[in-house]
Each structure stands twice: as structure tokens, then as C-alpha cells.
Amino acid sequence: MPIPTEPIGSIPRPRELVDALVAQAPQEELAGLFDSAVRDTIRRFEETGSPVISDGEQTKSSFVTYPLSAANNVTWDGVEIPFADGHSRHLPQLAGGPFFYSGHAADYLLEAKKHASVPVKQAVIAASAMSLLYPSGGLDDYPQDVFLDDLVREAADDIRMCLDSGAHVVQIDFTEGRLACKLDPSLGLLKSFVDLNNRVLEGFSEDERARIGIHTCPGGDQNSTHSADVDYADLLPTLFQVDVANFYVQLASESDRRRVLGIISEHSRPDQRVFVGVVDPLDSRVESAMEVRDRVLEAAEFIPIDRLGTTDDCGFSPFADDTATARDTAFAKIQARVEGTALAASELGV
């Protein structure tokens, strides 16, 4: 498409799969349900006309925990992430070293590519999110600087395996970026997160970074957010210092999109493509293609067309047990994004 359009990642799982996960069904039963969900997700993704798809994260427990799928040195009572509606999620916590990924994103990518006829992108969790696993009191036998060295290596390997496995693009999920501004208004925590993620990216070439992007949003779980009250003016200037070529920015649900677009215009660089969110996964109403078109045209007033892309604000179901959004609704929104982006491209003459 003249204006590229990509999903963020997760799609609501089929109800049968969610029920089986909640009931802790036997692994052989889950394996069949996982395979069916991935096949159905890819089929329905392609039916929307989307030129780039994902596997919908159907077989991940969540976008953040997949590297720990077989870990035996973590507990599940780590940092608490409170959401605006009152519910919360807990991150895992490292109980001892060494730290390593027991699951890799490339495994999901390779399975998806077996069934896809269009390019597949792959999301990975940011090293900055994984850094929150280290306990605040430290570990006597595993210093934090050693942990961070191990984390940087593992996160870089996770990205490289996806690139080597043929990912169209690798998207780093950085939802904790906006949250960092809330936790530390001095923005020191945000800067440390960006510095850590840039350590991960140091070993990649310019051509490889052209296939790497980063996603920011205020969190999205059970139709609620954890940091939507944070001003984008605090986040975006530092975000655009991440050494990648593609930025996926939640925008459709912002109350003043033009103000945010102005910040993007001021702080993004000529070598950076910005994919703006044009549909809101937390709103049950399905946007029309014309509505999406108008949002793209608005963004084109601030971002040169050759640097503009469109996306969803966030994943539709980043945690496996989130059933707040219907599966049909997610695909209808994606189709509106695809069709509306094409309408905007035609109107813009590209």
C-alpha cells in the first residue's frame, strides 16, 4: 500500500481457548486449540486485506511474559501495574540468577509463517520491561549490573532470531515508557529505559534497524489503561531517541490528536517512519473507513507522506484472559483501518 499499515499484535482469543486456559486444560488439548486459533487468526487477518499481519499472539500468556514460559527462577508477585478501572496486573520477579529467555518470539513467528501468504511481523518485549523483574532489594548472588548484561544479550538475541527467521518487521513493545513518566515525573526512569533499549540495539546494522520498530501506548487491558493521564509531551521527545526506524504511536484515543501530531512533527527525525493509531481497541464501536481516512489525512498535515503509516492504538487483547473486546470487533476495526488508509492514500494522490 502507498501508505503502509500494520497491526500492533494481539487479537482476542477464541472463547473456547480462553476457557481451556482458565480451566488449565491438559497440554495436548491446548495444543490443538492453539493451532486452530493461529490458523483462524491468520485466515481472518488476510481476509481484512491487511498487507502485514501477526499471529495475534494466540499462544502467548501475554505480550510481556513469553520469555519466561519455562522459567523456574521467577515468582509471580513482582511489580504491580494498577489500571484506571481499579484492577491490576503483577509482573514476575526474579528469584535468582542467571537470567535467560526460556521462550523466544521467533518460535511464534516461524509457526505463523507456515500458514501465512502475506508478510508477518513479530512483537517482542522491551528489555526495559524485563528489567523490572529484578527485585528492588537486590539478589546477593546476582548483582544488578550482571543481570542487565545478561538481559541485554538475551533481548538482542530475541530480536535477531526474529529478523533471521524472516520477520517483516520486529516491533519492540514499550508500554512501560509512558508509565515511567508517571512513576518518575523527573523523567529519569524514562531516560534509563531508553538507554537500556539502545544498548540492546547497538549491535544491529542500519539495514537491520530499518526492520525494527517500537510501540508506545498507555497500556490496554480489560478496556482500561495505566497511564493515559500522562502527557505525550513528557514521553515523545525522549522516545524518538530510540535507535529504530519505525515508531507505532497510540493516537486514535487521544483527546487532542492535533497537539500530539505537532509534538511528533517537532521531535521525530527525517529517517523515522511514524505509524499513527487510527482505531481504538478499547472502544467497542467500530470506526468507519471514512473516519479512518479523515484521521490519516489529519496526520498527513503534520507528517510527510513518505514517513507516515497507520496502525491500531494497541493490541486488542495483550493478556490471554482478556475478553473485553470481541474477536469479530477486532477484525472489523482492522478492516476499517486497511480500507480507510487506502482511501486516504487515494485522496492524497499516492
Per-residue pLDDT averaged across 266-290, rounded? 97
Mean pLDDT value of segment 60-81: 90
Across the chain, mean pLDDT equals 96
Q: 15-348 has which fold? A: TIM Barrel (3.20.20)
Closest CA to 315 of 84, 125, 57: 57
Dist CA 220 CA 83 (whole Å): 9
Instruction: Identify the residue whose cell numbers are 515511567.
Output: 180
pTM greater than the 0.75 cutoff = yes
Q: Convert 186-213 to b/e letters by CB count within 10 Å (16 or more is b).
A: eeebbeebbebbebbbeebeeebbebbb
Q: Indicate if the pLDDT at residue 319 is higher than 90.
A: no
Q: Contact, 316 vs 325, CB < 8 A?
A: yes
Percent of the chain past pLDDT 70, that is, above it, reads 100
pLDDT at 322 over 90: no
Cβ(336)–Cβ(289) below 8 Å: yes
Stretch 194-222: mean pLDDT, rounded? Answer: 96
